[in-house]
Structure 1
Amino acid sequence: MKFRIIVTVSFLLTSGLAFSEEGGMSSLIFFDYSYQTSENAPDHNGFEVKRAYFTFSKSVTHAIGFKIQFDVGRQKDRMNTNLYAYLKNALVKWKTDAGTFIFGLQGMNVFKIQEKTWGYRFIEKSAMDREKFASSADLGIGFSRKFAEKGFINAMITNGGGYKKPETDKYKKYSVLIGYGEQRLDKKRGFNAGVVFSYEPYKNGTVYRKQLIGFLAGFSVKKIRMGAELNIMDDSAVDKQNKLLSVYAVYKITERYQIFGRADRLDDGAENENYIIAGMVLVPAKSLMIAPNVRILEDGSSRNSFNVNFQYNF
């Protein structure tokens, strides 16, 4: 497996050089140092490459474009320390007067706005992504369109298994995002508000369904960016409802120094989980971000950690 990863990455790098005149090659790396401060914390303090993305994109015409992205990371099983490479995006985008159609393996729509409002994916995943309310990418067909000046809608039909697993049944996942405002509050001032919905039947002896509804809102002014989301997941197989609340705020001291805080709360009706992150982001150069931060996780026990996260791209 290690050999496969080396070959894949080498191929991507050489392909990027070969196609540089025709398209765009980019990379994004997440790297961190983690120190567990709790008394009974697991013994895995140290440095780690959390994620590496290699992307090639090309516009063939003003209406047709392609994108291929590989995602390199580790599995959650700490007994397996190998890095694995996955194909995360392999899509064609077709712009028409009616809207934009996307075919293939593509990013999901249910937390794309919230992730940009949070703005620090290299520090932590968005709340829904972290709690596995939805996969970050899936295989299928998507459609997006803008309306009423700043209104937007994104609808998708996908396999439902994510980008790391093959399809195993005949059922499909249906998801919709409807919102109004600026979609990238991490880059532009303004506000947004919206609702997301997904529905996925699946068979486990009999046919059950997973249903998600979420509400989101955020704003960005000169020095402050804030966002909040409430997500409710129902699974008819277990007759249980999970509620996930996440709020986050960023204060920009200068262009090079920012402070942030975030609090997530997961309630499944029987137990609660609270997750808090706070820290500072330093931007010594355009392609480098450094974020010392502390984390508190309460899920029956209390676990604290100190992390330094890095993001660099080229």
Structure 2
Amino acid sequence: MLIRFTLCLAIGLTFATLERASATPGKIGGVGYADYYYVAAADDADDEPEKRNAFRFRRLYLTYNQSVSERFDVRFRLEANDAGFGDTNGDKRPKMVPFVKHGYLKWNGALGGDLYIGLSGTPTWGISESIWGYRPVEKTIMDLNGIGSSADVGLGLKGAAGGLRYHVMVANGPGQRAETDNGKKFYASLSMKPSESMVAEVYADMNFRPASQNQLTAKVFLGLQTDAVRFGLEPFIRINSEAGAGGEDETITGASVFGSLPMGDDRVFGRLDMVSNDDTDTTDLFVLAGYDWTVEKSLHIMPNLYVQLPDGPDPNIQARVTAYYKF
């Protein structure tokens, strides 16, 4: 309790100091994803068995942004995720516990771009997630399958050169978790807009790990976003060196296609993912379809059908009502 109180006090004093040091007031904002879900069908060995249902906060964000000067901005963001279902910790049932999602200094105009120092967002799926537009319903394909991390501790540089935009980064590799080895992870994203409504991206990263068990990831993304239509295509490949049976390389490939269309003042959306693993010789499918009811600009209610089709076990079929709000 004392540690939590001290942490909250330190954060509060830091924010107050930043407010006094800058002529620009800081801004506090938040985002929440909430669900009611019902598992209509599942495999006997599934982690989410048939008839399970619950209300839950799947994710909560609390963000503080501060413009310290014309050259420097700071961000501090806390995140809390769903604690899960049931008694998984003896007599102490798990609770939503916040952790630091972002904590960085942004140096505007450094090295010809913007330099991010600290725990900042990676380029792994930022562009595709913005075109997808339904992160409150589900993560993009690479995020959903654990291919990378949304944030990492290190140095990042964003900028533009000619018609290209770039985001490069060198970081620890484990994301928000503690560093575990001497290797580092290198990220690079190059994107361009052939037209006002289209975006194309080439991305790669290399994670240097002990015992030559390095991880190489590459993808391309093609997106279309107009006032009416959103569409995206995102294939990827991940090679895990010496991680397969008998010390062979493990190769994971996948592709996602998604889109949304207007329906009056609201929208309908859908998505199909396919992920294959050569080590286990499996190909899994994922299907998602839903309706986006815009109650207010900052409040959406989205009933959706969520279907996982693993290679072998019975499908997991869930009916969900997802709410998104922002302040």
Between the aligned partners of 2:113 and 2:186, the Cα distance in structure 1 is 18
- What is the identity, as a one-letter code, of the residue corresponding to 1:87? V
Deviation (angstroms), 1:252: 1.7
Tell me whether 1:109 sits opposite 2:123 in the alignment. Answer: yes
Q: Which has the higher strand share?
A: 1
2:270 match? 261
2:246 match? none
1:291 match? 302
- Deviations 1:79-129, CA, capped at 9 Å, x for gaps: 253212110100011111611111000111111001111111100011111
Q: Secondary structure at the match of 1:84?
A: coil
2:225 match? 220
For structure 2, which runs of at least 5 residues remain unmatched after alignment?
Answer: 44-48, 244-248
Between the aligned partners of 1:100 and 1:117, the Cα distance in structure 2 is 22
Q: 1:39 to 1:75 in 2, by over 3 A?
A: closer
TM-score normalised over the length of structure 2: 0.85
Between the aligned partners of 1:167 and 1:271, the Cα distance in structure 2 is 31
- What is the identity, as a one-letter code, of the residue corresponding to 1:128? M
- Deviations 1:130-180, CA, capped at 9 Å, x for gaps: 10000111100001111224x2011000100111x1111110000100010
Deviation (angstroms), 1:39: 5.7
For structure 1, which runs of at least 5 residues remain unmatched after alignment?
Answer: 183-187
Between the aligned partners of 1:243 and 1:160, the Cα distance in structure 2 is 20
What is the aligned-residue identity percentage?
24
Q: Secondary structure at the match of 2:41?
A: coil
Are the aligned partners of 2:204 and 2:218 in contact in 1 as well (CA < 8 Å)?
Answer: yes
- What is the identity, as a one-letter code, of the residue corresponding to 1:273? D
1:235 match? 240
Q: 1:8 to 1:273 in 2, by over 3 A?
A: farther
Between the aligned partners of 1:226 and 1:290, the Cα distance in structure 2 is 21
Q: Secondary structure at the match of 1:218?
A: strand
Between the aligned partners of 1:178 and 1:24, the Cα distance in structure 2 is 30
2:46 match? none
Deviation (angstroms), 1:235: 0.4
- Deviations 1:200-258, CA, capped at 9 Å, x for gaps: 1111xx2221000001001122311100101100001221110010110010223x310
Deviation (angstroms), 1:75: 5.3
- Deviations 1:239-298, CA, capped at 9 Å, x for gaps: 1110010110010223x3100000111001200110000010011111101100001111
Q: 1:286 to 1:223 in 2, by over 3 A?
A: same
Between the aligned partners of 1:181 and 1:223, the Cα distance in structure 2 is 18
Are the aligned partners of 2:38 and 2:318 in contact in 1 as well (CA < 8 Å)?
Answer: yes
1:202 match? 209
- Deviations 1:36-71, CA, capped at 9 Å, x for gaps: 111653453110000000000011222210000000
Structure 1 window deviating more from structure 2 (139-148 vs 47-56): it is: 139-148
Match of 1:85 among 81, 90, 98: 98
- Looking at CA atoms only, which structure, 1 or 2, has the larger radius of gyration? 2
1:185 match? none
Match of 2:181 among 165, 169, 182: 169
Q: Secondary structure at the match of 1:277?
A: strand
- Number of aligned residues: 299
